[in-house]
Amino acid sequence: MAKPSERSSGRHRNVDDDSVALVRTIGFFHCVGVLLGCVVGTAIFLSPTAILRGVGGSVGWSYVIWIASCILGSMEAMSFAELGSSHPKSGGEFIYIKESFGPLLAFLRVWTNVLIMSPAMAALQTMVIGTYIVTPFLGDCQEPLYGAVRLLAACVMFLIFFINCTSVPLTVRIQSFLTVSKIFGLAVLIGSGLILLFNGHTDSFRNPFHVNQFQFGGLASAFMAGRYAFGGWAILNNLTEEIKNPEKNLPRSIFVTLLLVFTIYMMANITYLTAMTAEEMLASDAVAVIFAKRTLGSWSWVIWVSVVLCAAGQLNGASLSRARMYFVAAREGALPEVLSLVHVRWKTPLPAAAVTLPLSLIMLCFGNIYSLIDYMMCVDTLFTVLSVASIFYFRRKLPDLPRPYKVYLIVPGMFIFFNLIIVGMAFYDRPFEAVLGIVTTIIGIPFYLFSRRKNRSNRIQLYMEKWNRFMQKITLSVKQERKTF
């Protein structure tokens, strides 16, 4: 068996042998494709209305929120660039929280992802895909067919999870294709808006800081929508063991993506207001579709396709990334051992990639998936704050750790400070949803105690060992045969 790839020289060599383990197949451009595909998702079509509504319909203040959200997103991106380039393990936030704050909080990070965030986001994104595929064929019908949308969403979900289970190179190639395609669609949207702007369509930008009705609680909703739009910078950190030369490619791809995301988001928000008034944006959650009908005419289908591609790219990239978090969590003993298995031929963590599929299908039956995500946004933000805070721990405990990219400590400090303020505002505005998210997280503590091997009875331990052997047989998966970090 070949030796594992070494880190001492600062480079990671691909190991071409028959051993069963994760393989470094993701290069720089694929890193950009995965990250850009995950960050630029459905938020570009949903968040503009939410932010505008949160600031009382003020165009000027909505741009202030967008710029502030971009600054916070940049701080998050720079923080994860240091963490990812200095830590060889995949698993991202799970590893950082485990090594700095202990295994319980790390388990709860994964618990909230497996139980609610991942399946709810998968259900929401496939629902968006199903709705935007079905609606153009309905003619004058007001609402898409409930069953048809969910059936199509389930088919898309099966397809994306199947691709993630069978091939990492195919997954990242598809992700790159989806990213390029949706950027083309967004370029058409932005280009048509700039033409209108140069032709004098500037009515929406007059008296930009006029506020129709301001509510303090609305600011929390606006900032949460901005965080949703600029979130997802830990995606690549979950894939470190499969990235070629991660010390260089990971931070570089993060900064390239950050520049592209800021440009796309700001230009898109200017574009919307060239063809729509603030009042019209507040009255619709499908601003891109209305814009396309007014400006592109018979070519409005380009925007419909872009929405589908954005949702598909976000789901595909998130599925690829989160599976590695579950895989590493199982390898570290926080989740059932079966999730740490690798397929003998495809070299993918097949059980970990498929674990959220059943829950995602169940959540397709929920009437309001948005509410599930709302419950967990505060919790998700708090765990991201913990991950970024681990920088201070590693700087103090591991001062000699190689750091190819090193962020100024004021950056993670400001990120933590402002996000705690946003979470506090969210608790003030929506106390029920915030508390319910905390309660859902705390429920995971008994499961953490059960997951500790020494607390299991011999009978339960024997049953789980039989279950692991059974799953190995039906999934053709085994434990890693060599170290990949």
pLDDT tens profile 224-239 = 888 888 888 999 999 9
Ordered DSSP codes for 100-132? HH-HHHHHHHHHHIIIIIHHHHHHHHHHHHHHH
Half-sphere exposure of 149 (CA within 13 A, CB side): 23
> How many Å apart are CA 426 and CA 446, to the nearest integer?
27
CA 348 to chain CA centroid, Å, is 20
Q: Identify the pLDDT of residue 453.
A: 60
Question: Which residue has better confidence, 3 or 409?
Answer: 409
14, 244 Cβ separation under 8 angstroms = yes
CB atoms within 10 A of CB 427: 15
The pTM for the full model equals 0.89
- Tokens 């509410």, residue? 371
pLDDT tens profile 99-125 = 999 999 999 999 999 988 889 888 888
- Tokens 């309001």, residue? 368
Q: Identify the pLDDT of residue 144.
A: 59
CA 381 to chain CA centroid, Å, is 12
pLDDT tens profile 146-188 = 788 889 999 999 999 999 999 999 999 999 999 999 899 889 8
Ordered by where they begin, the domains of the chain are: 31-478 (1.20.1740.10)
For helices 216-230 and 59-86, give the axis angle rounded to 10 degrees: 40
Rg (Cα) of the chain, in Å, rounded? 22
| Three-state secondary-structure class, residue 477 | strand
The pLDDT of residue 10 is above 60: no
Q: Identify the pLDDT of residue 141.
A: 55
Q: Which residues pair with 477 in a beta bridge?
A: 343
Q: Which of 11-15, 215-219, 240-244 has the highest mean pLDDT?
A: 240-244
Per DSSP, which regions of 266-402 are E strands? 342-343
Q: Identify the pLDDT of residue 231.
A: 84
- Tokens 């396709």, residue? 305
